[in-house]
Amino acid sequence: MRPTLAAKWVAVVAGTAIVIALPFVVSQFRAVQLATVAVYFIAIVGLDILTGYSGQISLGHGALMAVGGYTTGILMTHHGWPDLATIPVAALVGGAVGVAVGIPALRLHGLYLALATFGVAVALPTILKKFDHFTGGSTGLSLFSHLTGHGVGVTILGHRLTNNDWLYALTWSIAIPLFLLAWWLVSSAFGRSIRAVRDNELAAAASGVNRATYKVAAFGVSAAYAGVAGALYAVVSTFVNPDTFPITLSLYLLVGAVVGGYGSIWGAALGALLIQFLDDIVDVLPGIDPKQAGPRTFFFGAVLVVVMIVLPLLTRLTNRVYTRS
Amino acid sequence: MTEFLQQVVSGLASGGIYGSLALAVVLIYRSTGVVNFAQGEMATLSAFVCWTFMDHGVAFWPAFALTLVLSFFGGVAVETVFVRPVQGAPTLAIVILTIGLLIMVNGLTTWIWGGAAKPFDGPFSTEPIDVGGVRFSKQDLGVIVVSLIVIALMWLLFSRTKLGLGLRAAAVNPIESRLVGVRVAWMLALGWGLAAVLGAVAGVMAAPSLFLDPNMMQTVLLYAFAAAVLGGMDSPVGAVVGGLLLGVLLNLVGTYIDWVGGQLRLATALAVILVVLLVRPAGLFGRQAVQRV
Amino acid sequence: MKKLAALIVLLACAPVALASSSATPGVSAKEVVVGSSGPLSGEAAAAAGVLRGAEAYFKYVNGRGGVNGRKITFKYLDDAYDPSKTVENVRQLIQQDQVFALFGVVGTNSNLAIRDFTNAAKVPVVFSQSGATTFGKDYVKYPYTIGYLPPYAEEAEIYAKHILATNPKKAKIAVLYQSDDYGKDLLAGLRRGLGSKNAELLVKAVGYDPTTSDVQSQVADLKASGANTFMVFAFGKFAIQAVVYANKLGWKPSLYINDVASATAIMQLMPQSTVQGAISIAFGKDPATPKWANDPGTKLAGQIIKKYVPGGNPKDGFLIAGMASAYSFADALKKAGKNLTREGLMKAVTNMNEPANPFLLPGIKVHTTPKFRFPVTQVSLQRWQKGHWVLFGGLQSARP
């Protein structure tokens, strides 16, 4: 039962309406949490394009977010740029890094690409700390004084927004257009080509699809999304530091991408909500002490494991991933 | 010169730990074609189990033996319960599953034993032995010796026994193996069980010097991957040799190249992975895969 | 479709909060809510003991009626030493849990990450667990933030002065330091303390990243420099490893262990032959030091731990450190009076005059003024002898 095109449009319109309405009914704190959800959402959509649609597994998506986050951080603290202006730059820089990574990644298949990207994600914090002249080292960069609204509030078109509402508006007003862009991409010839390459490289090549171009392009697009997500993450956290992009971020993004529909962008919101709110859900379970980190991590992993086992058995939406053995 | 030798020797000691975990990774890869990202966490869990036995008064060697047995069954259980259901799924799916296991086991370990590091009394003393100005401890020697014994046993298993033959056959061609009577399902479970035992050995050997905490093997896992890649993903000998080489390389690079210093060890391991995968993916001892069209 | 469903579910669960009508958040007639964040998991998890110790002390105070009739509710969250999680936690504590103030936030980077927005929101962040000088020095820009611990830089200066006093001609110093602000502050303080002799006496300094698994290679490197004095500016297991490896390599330098790693429980894990005579500083009463075995403050701490920290070790230095700062916090709360406001708390905190904190060394006065915001600036040197610390030299100044 694949959703029809009409159903997809309904979902998008309804989703957008909800996003617009939410801040009027939820608390301030929820608003800023949902802003973080938007950040994860953008990152997951990007990861979906790379891993779900183009079949290149990446365990280093958090590292690509770091590229965007630090681009923003460096431009803001070393060069005094306003935060908004850094976002397109973060996208471009992210995209460029993605292309640069995508080229050698062509030679690495499946498992080996997973290993290599895993390595990048694990080693990245130490590399960021090494180049402390740019990155502020382990202390990181504080963005607070350069943020729009200085963390207090913003006036738009005569309306005064609190800081949290501003962050919510900023992140979602970028997230939704990026989602639409992604939808367009995966439904277009580009999307068909990358899926063709994913499913059967030989057949794709025989049909005239240049696998190298499309795989690298997918990496670039995915990394551009991650760059934007990283930039926004920095803005929401007001602070950027090598430890804010640890290996667990990359792994959780993968969890989000998979749980939210096995690499389909239509589940990205669910995945993003999961990453942000699973802690809160776990805390409510009987016998769990919210101060303990163990149970939260355990259930996070358990959710992924269960989804990986159960999902293929249940739904046939995931057929596309099983077209080859 | 003495300093050089000293760095080499202590590099061999830490390399022994990387090699033993790499062995576990390679075993699962060889017998099931999967890279188990949860290998490090499973090893940590085994080390905690051993610690718990010792905390309750059991002496080291009996505790160690018990841990190995439990780890074996643990590995079999993991394969049967979690991996078996996704048999036949593409590599991507199984990798994600093992990552889920990584997160889950890490959470479980933190949940049960808490986050703080615990000291672990190893079987070998840390008193130094002096050989011509170069010093190492019995513990270092013990780690290297144990790794070598284990690899020898593995080699024997794989190349000289019928079981080993069955394991290899099941990995390479499950369908035809079944036709000749190999119980493929049991072979896969067995592979995971043995790997869990290897991981347990690595974890228990590592704990005295790295200190036991739930994240103990997280960075070691990357070093183990680098060792396995360097040695060749399908070569047990390669895993151990790769581990030893990597340990020495990391020490020498860290000491003699100031810019790397003590802070870029992980990055150096990453560099090893990238260089090997891009230049000679089969590693030192692996077989070059021929892609049939 | 899933996206839609998920958003509807979330909407149904989202709490609708009305603007808080009370004048001061977190304060009611019977309760004051205080928040914190620290590494309950991850590589620095041992330091979380300060939060547990503080919690236990607050429970004890509550058991005796609280402060000015209010019970202290202490809520703390795990950030695994990831500053972006600290930001998230503190946002939650301020905006959702409506805490009155933050207390004892653990870690230099964590405190740096939250400093800007807590000051913008005018929320006090009091007695943070960090010795970074900036938390006492930069109060003009950040008036709502104040530290507690004696500054790391000054601690290292004291070590430098000790070396200059005892072995000025022949000392050759090697330093192992954690490559973040805490370790670098110590190293900088050491250099400053050595003054003009810095280049001559400090032969090698090697850093390590706390995500590394071990420091064998670094220690071997330091030994090869020919040093006879080893400064261990490292934390927890790395400090232990440093001494274990020095021992293994047959290196027997004079050891200086930084305060953060000097808890008796940690020292006892090191090879005793090497660590004999090691020097550190102390400002709290380490319960394992025989001198304090019968001290009323230590006994009180033991009782509190027994009653309020299930499974807690009465000899855990981190628990005591937490209690010391909690005592000062309760003291400040009391001084802030029955009519409790955030401004009132900051006024109390910048006018501390506490002569007898039961958990700090006798003679240490917790003292602040609006222009001098370093609460604890007196320490004593101590030497490790036969399995425990022995204080010597009287109280020294660690005033920046």
SS3 annotation, C199-228:
HHHEEEEEEECCCCCCCHHHHHHHHHCCCC
Per the CB < 8 Å rule, is C241 touching B6? no
Query: Which chain C residues are Cβ-neighbours of A180 within 8 angstroms?
Result: none
Look up residue A162 and give its two tokens.
Answer: 């609190």
Confidence at residue C21, expressed as pLDDT on a 0 to 100 scale: 39
Query: Which chain A residues are Cβ-neighbours of B98 within 8 angstroms?
Result: none
Query: Which chain B residues are Cβ-neighbours of C217 within 8 angstroms?
Result: 7, 10-11, 250-251, 254-255, 262, 265
The H or E element that residue C102 is part of is strand C101-103
Confidence at residue A1, expressed as pLDDT on a 0 to 100 scale: 46
Those of residues 242-281 in A touching chain C at CB distance below 8 A are 243-244, 246, 260-261, 266-270, 273, 277
Smallest CA–CA separation between B262 and chain C, in Å? Answer: 5
Return the half-sphere exposure (C-beta side, CA atoms, 13 A cut-off) of residue C36: 29
Low-confidence ranges of chain C (pLDDT < 50): 1, 5-21
Per the CB < 8 Å rule, is A244 touching C84? yes
Residue in A19, A232, A239 with CA at minimum distance from that of residue A144: A239
Compare all CA atoms of chain B with the CA of A106 and give the residue at the minimum distance.
B278
Quote the CA–CA distance of B241 and B284 in Å, as a whole number.
9
Pairing of strands C279-282, C378-385: antiparallel
Q: Closest partner residue to A292 among B105, B109, B111, by Cβ?
A: B111
The CB density around residue A283, as the number of other CB atoms within 10 Å, is 14
Strand stretches in A126-280, DSSP E: 141-142, 153-156, 159-162, 239-240
Tokens 């991996």 locate to B83
Q: Which residue has the higher pLDDT, C111 or B31?
A: C111
Look up residue A111 and give its two tokens.
Answer: 């498992």
Per the CB < 8 Å rule, is C249 touching B128? yes
Give the lowest-confidence range in B55-59, B143-147, C386-390: B143-147
Query: Which chain C residues are Cβ-neighbours of A273 within 8 angstroms?
Result: 6-7, 10
Confidence at residue B289, expressed as pLDDT on a 0 to 100 scale: 60
Confidence at residue C273, expressed as pLDDT on a 0 to 100 scale: 87
Smallest CA–CA separation between B163 and chain C, in Å? Answer: 36
ipTM score here?
0.85
* Phi and psi, residue A147, nearest 5°: -75, 150
What single-letter DSSP state applies at residue C37?
Answer: E
Q: How far is CA A78 from CA A141, A222, C224, C280, in A?
A: 9, 27, 39, 39
Alpha helices for C80-150 (secondary structure H)? 83-91, 108-120, 134-137
Residue in B133, B139, B142 with CA at minimum distance from that of residue C250: B133
Compare all CA atoms of chain B with the CA of C45 and give the residue at the minimum distance.
B116
Low-confidence ranges of chain A (pLDDT < 50): 1, 316-318, 321-325
Quote the CA–CA distance of A181 and A198 in Å, as a whole number.
21
Quote the CA–CA distance of C291 and B258 in Å, as a whole number.
45
Instruction: Kindly indicate the confidence band of residue B176, based on its pLDDT and cuts at 50, 70 and 90.
Output: confident
Per the CB < 8 Å rule, is A129 touching C116? no
Count contacts between B and C (CB, < 8 Å). Answer: 105
Look up residue C66 and give its two tokens.
Answer: 């609280």
Chains that touch A (3 or more CB pairs under 8 A): B, C
Per the CB < 8 Å rule, is B266 touching A296? no
Are B31 and B170 in contact by the 8 Å Cβ rule? The answer is yes
Distance in angstroms between the alpha carbons of the first and the last residue of chain A: 23
Residue in C81, C83, C132, C103 with CA at minimum distance from that of residue C35: C103
Query: Which chain B residues are Cβ-neighbours of A308 within 8 angstroms?
Result: 86, 93, 96-97, 100
Q: 3-state DSSP call for residue A240?
A: strand
Distance in angstroms between the alpha carbons of the first and the last residue of chain B: 52
Instruction: Kindly indicate the confidence band of residue B125, based on its pLDDT and cuts at 50, 70 and 90.
Output: confident
Burial of C369 (0-12, 13-18, 19+ CB in 10 A): exposed
The H or E element that residue B25 is part of is helix B2-32
- Provide the sign of the torsion angle of the four alpha carbons B43, B44, B46, B47, taken in this order: positive
Q: 3-state DSSP call for residue C126?
A: strand
Alpha helices for chain C (secondary structure H)? 2-13, 49-63, 83-91, 108-120, 134-137, 152-166, 181-194, 198-201, 216-224, 236-248, 264-267, 272-275, 296-308, 317-336, 342-349
Smallest CA–CA separation between C165 and chain B, in Å? Answer: 31
Q: What is the mean pLDDT of residues B2-30?
A: 86
Compare all CA atoms of chain C with the CA of B218 and give the residue at the minimum distance.
C213
Instruction: Kindly indicate the confidence band of residue B292, based on its pLDDT and cuts at 50, 70 and 90.
Output: very low
Confidence at residue A145, expressed as pLDDT on a 0 to 100 scale: 77
The CB density around residue A4, as the number of other CB atoms within 10 Å, is 9
Those of residues 229-288 in C touching chain B at CB distance below 8 A are 236-237, 240-241, 244-245, 247-250, 269, 271
Are C62 and C100 in contact by the 8 Å Cβ rule? The answer is no
Q: 3-state DSSP call for residue C74?
A: strand
SS3 of A80-141: the string is: CCCHHHHHHHHHHHHHHHHHHHHHHHCCCCHHHHHHHHHHHHHHHHHHHHHCHHHHCCCCCE
Quote the CA–CA distance of A231 and A70 in Å, as a whole number.
7
Quote the CA–CA distance of B213 and A18 in Å, as a whole number.
44
Q: What is the mean pLDDT of residues B267-291?
A: 82
* Phi and psi, residue C99, nearest 5°: -75, 155
At position A323, the amino acid (one-letter code) is T
CB proximity A144 to C under 8 Å: yes
Distant-in-sequence, close-in-space partners of A107: CB < 8 Å, separation ≥ 6? B277, B278, B281
Those of residues 152-211 in A touching chain C at CB distance below 8 A are 152, 164
Q: 3-state DSSP call for residue C106?
A: strand
Residue in C271, C222, C249 with CA at minimum distance from that of residue B128: C249
Among B108, B111, B113, B246, the residue to mutate for chain A (most A Cβ within 10 A) = B111
Compare all CA atoms of chain C with the CA of B138 and give the residue at the minimum distance.
C248
Instruction: Please give the model's pTM, rounded to 2 decimal places.
Output: 0.85
Residue in A294, A146, A241 with CA at minimum distance from that of residue C108: A241
Q: 3-state DSSP call for residue A288?
A: coil
The CB density around residue C346, as the number of other CB atoms within 10 Å, is 21
Strand stretches in C170-299, DSSP E: 173-178, 202-208, 229-233, 254-257, 279-282
Per the CB < 8 Å rule, is B35 touching A299? no
Compare all CA atoms of chain A with the CA of C88 and give the residue at the minimum distance.
A237
Q: What DSSP line would sit under C11-34, residue for residue?
A: HHHPPP-PPP-SSSTTB-SSEEEE
Compare all CA atoms of chain C with the CA of B211 and give the residue at the minimum distance.
C237
CB proximity C188 to B under 8 Å: no
Confidence at residue C115, expressed as pLDDT on a 0 to 100 scale: 92
What single-letter DSSP state applies at residue C150?
Answer: P
Q: How far is CA B210 from CA B72, B116, B205, C181, C202, in A?
A: 23, 13, 9, 24, 28
Query: Which chain A residues are Cβ-neighbours of B90 within 8 angstroms?
Result: 321-322, 324-325
The H or E element that residue B134 is part of is strand B134-137
Chains that touch B (3 or more CB pairs under 8 A): A, C
* Phi and psi, residue C360, nearest 5°: -100, 160
Q: Closest partner residue to C249 among B11, B119, B135, by Cβ?
A: B135
Q: Closest partner residue to C209 among B211, B214, B263, by Cβ?
A: B263
Does the structure show a pLDDT above 60 at B151? yes
Confidence at residue C374, expressed as pLDDT on a 0 to 100 scale: 94
CB proximity C207 to B under 8 Å: yes
Per the CB < 8 Å rule, is B219 touching C212? yes
Among B87, B103, B273, the residue to mutate for chain A (most A Cβ within 10 A) = B103
Those of residues 49-68 in C touching chain B at CB distance below 8 A are none
Return the half-sphere exposure (C-beta side, CA atoms, 13 A cut-off) of residue C197: 17
Compare all CA atoms of chain B with the CA of A56 and give the residue at the minimum distance.
B92
Strand stretches in A184-260, DSSP E: 239-240
The CB density around residue B8, as the number of other CB atoms within 10 Å, is 17
Instruction: Kindly indicate the confidence band of residue B2, based on its pLDDT and cuts at 50, 70 and 90.
Output: confident
Burial of B156 (0-12, 13-18, 19+ CB in 10 A): exposed
At position A194, the amino acid (one-letter code) is I
Residue in C374, C131, C89 with CA at minimum distance from that of residue C261: C131
Compare all CA atoms of chain C with the CA of B119 and give the residue at the minimum distance.
C269
Confidence at residue A291, expressed as pLDDT on a 0 to 100 scale: 66
CB proximity B132 to C under 8 Å: no
